[in-house]
Structure formats: C-alpha cells, structure tokens
A and B are shown apart, each in its own frame.
Chain A
Amino acid sequence: MAEARGVLVIGEVSAGQLSGTTKEVLAAGRPLAQQAGTGLAVGLVGHNLASAAQEALGAGGDRVYMVDDALLAEVRLELYLAALVELCRTVAPDIILLGRTALGRDLGPRLACRLGVGVLQDCLRVELDGASGRLTATRPVYGGNVLAQARCLATPQVAALRPKAYAPLAPDPARQGEVIAVPVALDATTARVAVVRQVRHDSAGVKLEDATIVIAGGRGLGGPEPFRELQELAGMLGAATGASRAAVDAGWVPGNWQVGLTGKTITPDLYITVGISGASQHMAGCSGAKVIVAINKDAEANIFREARYGVVGDWHIVLPAFMEAIRSLH
C-alpha cells in the first residue's frame, strides 16, 4: 500500500463562487481522507479566488492550494492544465478527485495523462478498497445497463465523479484552514486554442439542471409542434422542459434540451416523460429523478420499468386531458 499523502479535490470556480459540483466532490472526498488518515486538500485555479477558497473550507476542505492569476480569469484549458500540473506536483496527493462537469470532462483525462495515469470516469461512488487501500469506484457502463467496479493501480489515483452523485455537506462557515498560494509562471503563448465568439441560447424560464419538475418529450411526439404543449404544461407547473436525444437529433428542439448520457444530468423531484421510450442512454441522465412518470403508447417500453407512475396510451389524447385536469386543480 502506497504511503497516504492525502486527497486533493480539484475545484471549479465560476464568477468568484465555488461550483455546486465541487461541494459534492468535497463531500465524497471527506470520508476518503478520514479513512486514509490524511487531510482533504482543495486545488483551485482561476482569478480572484479568495472567497471561493473560504467556501471550499466551509464545504469540507482542510487546506486550499490556489493558482490565482489574471491569465486564468477565463477558462483556457492549456493554461488551466499547466497550473493544475504544478499544483498537483506541489500537493503530491495520493488521490485526485474532480467533477465530471463540462470543464472536468476536458481537464480530467488531460491532467491524468500529464501525470502518467488514467482516470476512473463518471463515478457514482468512490471508496478505499479494504484490502489494498486503493481507490475503487462504481460507475455505469454500456449506457447504464451494467455497473463496473474498477480500481486504480498507479499513483496518483484519479477519479471523476458524476455530478449529483453525492450531496454536498452542510456548509460550516466556522471551519478554518490554511490557504496556500502556489506560484506558477504561466506563458499565455502556450495556449494554442483561441475562442472566436460565444453563442449562448437564452434558456427562458426554469433551468433544466436546477428544476424540481421537468417535462420532457421524445421521438414519440413526432415533430417540433407538440413541444409547445410541453412548454405550456411546464409553465403551469413551474417546470423546465427537456428532450431525449432522438428529438434533438431530429432537430425538433435545441441541443441544450437534451437529457441523457450525452446531454444533461438532472435530479428533479418529478420527471414527466411523454413519448420517450427510456433507452438507457436517456435514463443515464435522469435516473436520479425521485419520481418518473411515463406517458407512452407502448406498454413494453423500457420507460415503464423505471417509472413510478405510467399511462399507456396515445399522448395526443392523454396529454390534453392531463393538462386540462391540472388546470382545474390549480
């Protein structure tokens, strides 16, 4: 067993604030550090990180290492990676944890490669193996149809956690800890990728990832028009709207509506699906929903194996009646 040198969580900061996923990763790292008898370090790269560093301590970190540089004010992967490699050399952790977010998907494998190791990707659970003390993760593969348990054999052991797999700890502002600046001489000319422009879709209404109720449609809706009805229903319930990959690939709704393995991961209290068959690639993005409701005409559809409530029937008839009843209940 390698000598325990500690657990490092690589955090994300946006607009000066520590990301929600980072707090979840800290919650996952806390018991590992305790079990290994080491501290839980947090690594932050960016600019003006002081308040995020305090947040990281309150969310479970023992010490914060940060590379705070104006060159890191915007995400530029090559500079972020250069800073993170230095930070990892300084901390020399046994275990590195990060979130498999949009940024983490890019950073994790590239950082690990620079450190000469692979990454346990998309982990739902991480623990130390009792016998070997090695980091062991449970993760879905084959579109969520199979769960794999895998273990890191090399050091550092790197795992990227699926967002929302862990709940954050209750913030404790009284927690104190050292904040250590790691000096890194960054060279802006090493960034070879340049952003030309950004095109953001306005997501009017409730944000899909944060919504407590989500209404989503799939291939069964047959075209773009029925999604207006879903939006109307969403308006009545204060819900967000989503879609399956089939509906996005057909061009019926924008890509940022997509729930699933290659789209968004959501954990609403209520997830109402209309005309979604429940392919595993879709379920990978919504299996954290507390209650799934399915409206589908195919009684054999996989979605009924995952749903709590279901109506087997043609949505053309079921949905208007459902909406009418909701209107009268409100």
Chain B
Amino acid sequence: MALHIIVTAKQVSDPEMPISAYSIDAAGPRVVTPATFQPVINGFDENALEAALRLKDSQGATITVVSVGGQFALDIMKKALAMGADNLILCQDPLFAHLSDSFVTAQVLSAAIRKIGAFDLILCGRQASDWDNAQVPLMLAELLDVPCLSLAQKVEAADGKVTVEQLVPDGYVVAEAPLPALVTVSNELGAPRYPTMRNIMAANRKRPTLWKATDLALDPALLTSRIELVGLSFPSRTQQCEIIAGADAAEAGRNLALKLREAKLI
C-alpha cells in the first residue's frame, strides 16, 4: 500500500534578503521585513518535501503538506503542490501569528495531524531559517509518540520501517525505526526540485484546506506561550577591516602573509 507522508512546512522571510532590509518593531517585539521581499517556504522544509517526493517517485506515496501560521501568502505555499505534493493544509489563525514558543507550534501541528488521521511518515525540515530553533519536529514526535530520527541526509521506507542516514559530527549513522515515525531532513539530502510547468498549472487549480484554531479543538491552555520574547536588537559590528593592498593581487597576497606574521598570528 502506498505510504501516506506528512511534510511540515513553515512560511518564512527570505533568508537571502540583505541584512539592511530587516527592521525591528520594538513594540511587538518583532522582526519586520519589507513587503517588497516575498516570503518563501523554509528551505529545509523544501528538503523534507524533496525527500517525500523521492519516496513518491520510487514507490508511490500520498503527500500532505501541513503548515501553521497567522497569515499565509497562498501563492508561496502552493509551491509545495507545484513541486508534487497532493494536499496542502494551512492552519491559519491570528492566534498562530508570531508564536514565540515552539512547544505551542508543536501542539497546533499535532492537533492538525491527529485531524488528518492515519500516516506512515512525517518529514520535517531540520530547523526554520528564521528562528533556527530546531525544536518543533522533535516536540511533535514526542506529542504524537512516534520514533524520531533527526538530521537525515537520506530517507528510505520499506517493510514497515524507515531507514535513514543521520548526520553526526564526524560522518553519519544508519538508523531505522518502525513506521509510523518522524524524520527531520537536512540540506545534505540534496536540492529540492523545481516545479514543472504541468504541476504549476495543476497546483493553480487546487485549493489548500484552511483550518482555524476552532477547527482543531485546541485546549486554550496549551496555546499559552511558556516563552516570552522580551526584546530584539541588531548585533553591534565594531570590526574595522584593514584592507591589505599591493601593486597587484600577488603582492597583496605576499603583504597579507607579512602582516599576519607581524601580528604573530602565524
């Protein structure tokens, strides 16, 4: 029987945006990005979707992408369908905007996944490029009580088991767990595919499913943040770079070596 794979995805501000484009709203407090920069699907979540699509290509699978947020840019999130996902569920509610506590996000996602029903595998990006918490997937595995394998660079599923290559500091570990399970995917898996024109057209005709907080029967107590964001600031950059010159690039290279020796660094 074909696998049912759930992929979690987050809408984030474009991490390629220049640093100068960010501003801080101290009253939020929150990071503000200009409207001229479109948000994107978190890159690591696209890696997770790519892992799901490879399983779909090789053995057939139904892929449901689920996301939690305050307000989605539908065209951006529909890229998941254009890449080849079958369903897109957006848990969209003002209550889900600017969640500062991953524990709350994980609660909402777990409620959504319980509502979706049976699944074989959950694939998540290793972390989101905005808050870099790397927390929601692990908590989600706990809340759903499924085995959790983190930092995969390769994901295979067969005979009721998932087998992954997990990155460790000096190499990788091959580990396996019975399905259903949750796997976090790292960029080492490889670049996510581009949507084909045919899939883009098909995605345009599909409508994402929208769920509000009330659709998920969430206990309000679980939505109470246990972490409070107190302030945001830009780090001070006081470093003055001394540009080492020379008559030409080669001399500049030689002068750099002399400068480092003079500074007793080499």
Residues of A within 8 A of B (CB): 77-78, 102, 105-106, 108-110, 112-114, 116-122, 129, 136, 140-154, 192-201, 203, 209, 213, 237, 245, 248-249, 255-256, 261-262, 264, 269-270, 280-281, 291-295, 302, 304-314, 317-322, 324-326, 329
Contact = CB atoms under 8 A, between A and B. Distances in A.
Interface in B110-150: 126-127, 129-135, 138-139, 141-143, 147-150
Nearest to B237: A305
A328 to B, nearest CB: 8
B175 interface: yes
B243 A146 contact: no
Nearest to B239: A306
Contact of A317 (B101, B173, B249): B249
Given A109-B139, A292-B239, A326-B257, 9 more contacts: A136-B230, A143-B15, A147-B234, A148-B231, A193-B149, A237-B266, A270-B266, A324-B254, A329-B266
B114 to A, nearest CB: 16
B253 A146 contact: no
A118 B227 contact: yes
B241 A305 contact: yes
Contacts of B231: 148-149
Contacts of B75: none
Contact of A106 (B138, B171, B178, B229): B138
* B interface SS class: mixed
Interface stretch (B55-63, B65-73, B82-90, B185-193): B185-193
Given A114-B142, A119-B135, A317 B248 contact: yes
A136 B171 CA distance: 35
B108 interface: no
Which 3 pairs show the lowest CB-CB distances between chains A and B?
A321-B253, A325-B257, A313-B249
Contact of A311 (B31, B167, B243): B243
Contact of A147 (B165, B171, B228, B232): B232
A79 to B, nearest CB: 13
Nearest to A306: B239
Interface string B237-256: 10101111000111111101
B240 to A, nearest CB: 8
B195 to A, nearest CB: 20
A180 to B, nearest CB: 27
10 contacts: A146-B234, A148-B229, A199-B172, A209-B169, A270-B260, A280-B19, A311-B253, A325-B256, A329-B257, A329-B258
A270 B132 contact: no
B150 A195 contact: no
B174 A153 contact: no
A200 B171 contact: yes
B187 A245 contact: yes
Contacts of A114: 142
A307 B241 contact: yes
Contact of B265 (A198, A269, A307): A269
Given A102-B169, A325-B253, A310 B244 contact: yes
A105 B130 contact: no
Given A193-B175, A196-B163, A198-B174, A309 B260 contact: yes
B226 interface: yes
B253 A110 contact: no
Given A150-B230, A153-B226, A192 B239 contact: no
Given A109-B134, A110-B148, A325-B257, A145 B22 contact: yes
Contacts of B101: 118
Contacts of A106: 138, 148, 150
A141 B149 contact: no
Interface in B37-76: none
